[in-house]
Amino acid sequence: MYSKRQNLVNEPNYGNKKIIHLKTPTYRLVLSSIFVALGVSLSIFPGAFPAGPTKVFPFQHMINVVAGILLGPLNAGVVAGLIGIIRIGIGTGTFFALPGGIPGALVVGLVYNYLVRKDAVALTEPLGTAIGALLSAFLVAPAIGAAQLPPFLGLTAQWQLFTIFFLMSSIPGALMGYLVVLALKRRGVIEGD
């Protein structure tokens, strides 16, 4: 006789591989909590380094990629937002952590869940981060009274400087996230394409 507890998740038989099923709210909540804790921990050690008024933190973008693929756009955006808020609170992030992190997670989640279900979707994260750079240059920086950035590499336009600073973080982070997703699929921890 089966108890109700044993049959909560209808798991298909994959032999000896243990596959994580992310269909239940409990799994999504636990995985989101783990991602937030990982993002905050990595912001302390090894940390982020300053670039203009921002802080370059590639691990945020790595988590955006993995969360966007595993959790979808809404949950990945919440994870990125929580990491940004906590980083601002503990001093390892700036106000630009929110527009720098959330759009990348949303783009990866949207593209993976609604357009293309391939691992290479991880490389769309810098597109979302570029949108965040524009938001930072045109909305956030003027709202918080950030000083005009000095020229960098001959560029003087604020949106160009924010885009460069954000992509310095996003491109390595997206590549790390892509490698993490490949490793998780290769090990059988998550389902493959």
Alpha-carbon span 9 to 124, nearest angstrom? 32
Specify the long-range contacts of residues 90-94, CB closer than 8 Å, at least 24 apart. Answer: 90/40, 90/43, 90/44, 92/40, 92/43, 92/44, 92/47, 92/48, 92/55, 92/57, 93/43, 93/48, 93/55, 93/57, 94/53, 94/54, 94/55
Provide the 10 A C-beta neighbour count for residue 63. Answer: 28
Report all structural domains of the chain as residue ranges with CATH numbers, in order of start: 25-186 (1.10.1760.20)
For 21-171, list the strands marked E by DSSP.
49-51, 54-56
Q: How many residues does the chain have?
A: 193
CA dihedral 170, 175, 177, 181 (to 10 degrees): 160
Alpha carbon distance 88, 83 (integer Å): 9
Q: Along the 193 residues of the chain, how does pLDDT read in single tens digits?
A: 444 444 444 455 555 555 555 578 998 999 999 999 999 999 999 989 898 889 999 999 999 999 999 999 999 999 999 999 999 999 999 999 999 999 999 999 999 999 999 999 999 999 999 999 999 988 988 888 776 777 766 666 888 889 999 999 999 999 999 999 999 999 988 876 5
Q: pTM for this structure?
A: 0.85
Q: What is the pLDDT of residues 32-87, one digit of tens each?
A: 999 999 999 999 999 898 988 899 999 999 999 999 999 999 999 999 999 999 99
